[in-house]
Amino acid sequence: MAALLDSLPAVSDADVERVRAGRRRRSRRRTVALVVLSVLAVALFAAMLMLGNTIYPVSDVLAVLRGEDVSGASFAVGTLRLPRALTAVLAGAAFGVAGSTFQTMLRNPLASPDVIGITSGASAAAVLSIVVLKWSGTATMGLSLAVGILTALVIYLAARGGDSTGGRLILIGIGVGAMLDSVVAYLLLKAAVWDLAVATRWMTGSLNGSRMEDILPLAIAVVVLVPIVLFLARDLGALELGDSWATALGVRVDRTRVLLVVAAVALACVATATTGPIAFVAFLAGPIAARIVGPGSSVVLPAALTGACLVLAADLLGQFAFDTKFPVGVITGILGAPYLIYLLVRTSRRGGSA
Amino acid sequence: MTATLATPRRAPAASAGARRRVVALVVAVVAVLLAVLLSLAFGSRPVTVDQVVEGITTWLRGETPTDIGAIAVQSRIPRTVVALLAGSALALSGALMQAITRNPLADPGILGVNTGAALAVVIGIAFFGLSSAAGYLVLALIGAFVTAFFVYFVGSVGPGGTTPIKLALAGAATTAALSSLVAAILLPRQAVMDEFRYWQVGNVGRADWGSLGVVLPVLVIGTIVALLCASALNALALGDDVAVGLGVHVGRIRVVAAVAGVGLCAAVTAIAGPIGFVGLMVPHAVRLVAGTDQRWLLPLSALGGAVLLTLADTIGRVIGSPGEVEAGIITAFLGAPVLIAIARRTRMKAL
């Protein structure tokens, strides 16, 4: 051991100082990024509350939030816009955390729950429960959650064994997702209540008609599960190095992974049961967040903020940028798919097999 | 040069393989006939054998039967024919795409061809007031071609060529983008939406003789071209260099076969909507039984596809009675497990 240490090049104070400076720089960048993302999220949230058919000034919005009765604004802001904005923030954060957790754990930016069919499962369950069986909100959440976890389990079991499980898992997930999407399409076709709002919600995700009383399960899920994922984020970083490294660093690999998968799937499923599978938010939030905060730090919190910003911004675009009001999922779908293709081309160019 | 390939040494194994293929052909033909009978006999109203016979004979004479069962049988004839033709076209299309890309996962559904066709049709209905079957077909063809080549291009960038994952992901991404565009075009237009909603799910029961007549030339030409390409595709399977050495125009045969493959599935999409997984499942099943010789694989796939889609439609009518479960749903349910099996068997990087 001593011989080994002797053979290493001497570490000078200058080297130590350089490493420390680098660490400080990265930590400063992370702090700045988190602050910027938070400010952006708050600004978008405020815009959601202020904009609409009637534009209310900040003072009115604040008055409504304090619970005062402002004529007109109380209904528009308090009953219509606030639930919508809250749903956007919570769903965005849930999708963002779920996506980045999957991506980090499976070490593949393509392995997010919306690409590999888990949100399709939750969506199919939600359609079955709401449109066909006419179940209540809580039962819908339960069924979505159960089917989402079952979907994840099926994909995992089907992909197990042999080498290169990551690629196979994605492939199988796409196939299972295609099957479940056809279930959604079928249930909507048969339900005889075909209306646009319902259909787009369960196919691409939408915030239309968000109500305060529907938010509770999602809020509970985000408040309980995001801290759990944050707590496990350190282990998640170790998992990214590979199972054997993680074990060597003292991570209980299996337990950590099961906890993380359940938390991430639950977040994705509850968000899907509330807003429908908002296309590509889970897939996009992690990579964007990673690019903003830079390498070497956990992306869980930045991904949550990025997801929230994405959903808020896309919904604002969908509501106000065009003559027709488009649901949020249509916007994220059109914006997200080119990024997926770009990512695919870039990975391929480097010679990776995605 | 291809003639020497066509007549391999008469090793015992080869002749056993040949016997197996002949048996497979006979079984496939019998299965097609059985599937037709089942499709005519089963549905929301069960009928007797006599009524099936009466329905067919009166139909052949161009008469309308008086018996209600026979009338039910007659009303099932168009959808049975559409299912047969659509199934064989989809399976052929899948087999061609798998041969050209040397990729086990090439399938019109996975490559996003269906969604491309759908987007083109929606654009036609929404912006050009289109409502004729011929118009749908032309647009579906254009949309299918553009999408297929785009997805194939994206999936083949990089040193590894097309790998199953790259291709599947390119298809999934393109499908997502295109369906968002479809939604964006449809949302402000409720009337178009009503017309289009049935497009979301593939179904052979909607087509009638008129629309079938429009796409029939495409189906016939596509099938003939596909079968003529068979021996060149055999050479292609040995690798581009060997194929060139064998006197095959590699580039030309790829383009011809690709056009035939995309044309076949676009024609089906134009009359029946998106039906996935037939092109994926059937060629793989046939390959297990009859080997990889394209001269057998292609015709057997066509027969197998006809059987599969006709049965899927029949099953959908029986379990969905008194309504129906669309054939596209049934094939998706049968297809996903097959996809999983293929994904488990193949090495992901290679191929």
Whether B70 maps to a domain, the answer reads no
The count of other CB atoms within 10 Å of the CB of residue B286 is 26
Domains in chain A and their CATH numbers?
31-349 (1.10.3470.10)
CA-based R_g, chain B, Å = 21
State residue A166's pLDDT score.
Answer: 65
Whether B55 maps to a domain, the answer reads no
Rounded to a whole number of angstroms, the distance from the CA of A354 to the nearest CA of chain B is 7
Q: Which of B266, B114, B111 is nearest to B173 (CA)?
A: B111
- Express as a percent the part of chain B with pLDDT over 70: 89
A186 inside 8 A of chain B by CB: yes
Question: Mean of the per-residue pLDDT values for chain A?
Answer: 82
Whether B151 maps to a domain, the answer reads yes
3-state secondary structure of B152: helix
Name chain A contacts of B166, Cβ cutoff 8 Å.
Answer: 344, 348, 353-354
Whether B49 maps to a domain, the answer reads no
Cβ-defined contact of A345 to B154 (cutoff 8 Å): yes
pLDDT in tens, A212-271: 888 888 999 999 999 999 888 777 777 777 777 778 887 777 788 888 888 999 999 999
Q: Of A189-203, B162-176, B214-228, where does mean pLDDT reach its minimum?
A: A189-203
CA distance A174 to A112: 11
Q: Which residue of B has its CA nearest to A204?
A: B180
| Whether pLDDT at B66 is above 80 | no
Cβ-defined contact of A171 to B339 (cutoff 8 Å): yes
Determine the Cα angle at A350 with ends A347 and A354, to 5°.
35
Total domain count for chain B? 1
Residues recorded for chain A:
354
Domain of B188, CATH number, reads: 1.10.3470.10
Residues 6+ apart with CB under 8 A from B9: none
How large is the average pLDDT for residues A344-351?
70
CA distance A51 to A60: 12
Which residue intervals of chain A are DSSP H helices?
A: 2-7, 13-50, 58-65, 73, 82-105, 118-127, 137-159, 165-190, 196-204, 212-239, 243-248, 253-275, 281-293, 300-320, 328-349
- Indicate the DSSP class of residue B200: G
Residues 6+ apart with CB under 8 A from B57: none
Tokens found for residue B68: 């209600």
Rounded to a whole number of angstroms, the distance from the CA of A10 to the nearest CA of chain B is 42
The dihedral region occupied by B277, where left means phi > 0, alpha psi between -120 and 50, and beta the remainder, is left
Whether B15 maps to a domain, the answer reads no
Q: Which of A340, A325, A194 is nearest to B197 (CA)?
A: A194
CA distance B228 to B217: 16
| Residues of the domain holding B339 | 82-345
Name chain A contacts of B190, Cβ cutoff 8 Å.
Answer: 196
Which among A176, A182, A326 has the least Cβ separation from residue B201?
A182
A172 inside 8 A of chain B by CB: yes
Whether B11 maps to a domain, the answer reads no
What predicted TM-score, i.e. pTM, was given to this entire model?
0.80
| Whether pLDDT at A16 is above 80 | yes
* Burial status of residue B63 (CB atoms within 10 A of its CB: 0-12, 13-18, 19 or more): exposed
How large is the average pLDDT for residues B335-340?
81
How large is the average pLDDT for residues B218-228?
93
Q: Of A306-320, B40-54, B229-243, where does mean pLDDT reach its minimum?
A: B40-54
Which among B165, B166, B187 has the least Cβ separation from residue A200?
B187
Cβ-defined contact of B165 to A171 (cutoff 8 Å): yes
Residues 6+ apart with CB under 8 A from A316: A44, A47, A48, A51
Cβ-defined contact of A182 to B332 (cutoff 8 Å): yes
Cβ-defined contact of B197 to A199 (cutoff 8 Å): yes
CA distance A292 to B275: 41
Rounded to a whole number of angstroms, the distance from the CA of A269 to the nearest CA of chain B is 19
Whether B22 maps to a domain, the answer reads no
Whether B28 maps to a domain, the answer reads no
Per the omega criterion (within 30 degrees of 0), is the bond before B78 cis?
no
pLDDT in tens, B151-180: 888 877 766 666 777 777 788 788 878 888
State residue A92's pLDDT score.
Answer: 94
Tell me, what's the ipTM?
Answer: 0.72
Q: Which residue of A has its CA nearest to B200?
A: A185
A67 inside 8 A of chain B by CB: no
Question: Mean of the per-residue pLDDT values for chain B?
Answer: 81
- Give residue A353's pLDDT band: very low, low, confident or very high (50, 70, 90): very low
Best of A341, A343, A345, A347 to mutate (most B CBs within 10 Å, chain B)? A341
Q: What are the DSSP E strand ranges found in chain B?
A: none
A344 inside 8 A of chain B by CB: yes
Name chain B contacts of A188, Cβ cutoff 8 Å.
Answer: 200
Which among A330, A344, A345 has the least Cβ separation from residue B184?
A330
The count of other CB atoms within 10 Å of the CB of residue B76 is 25
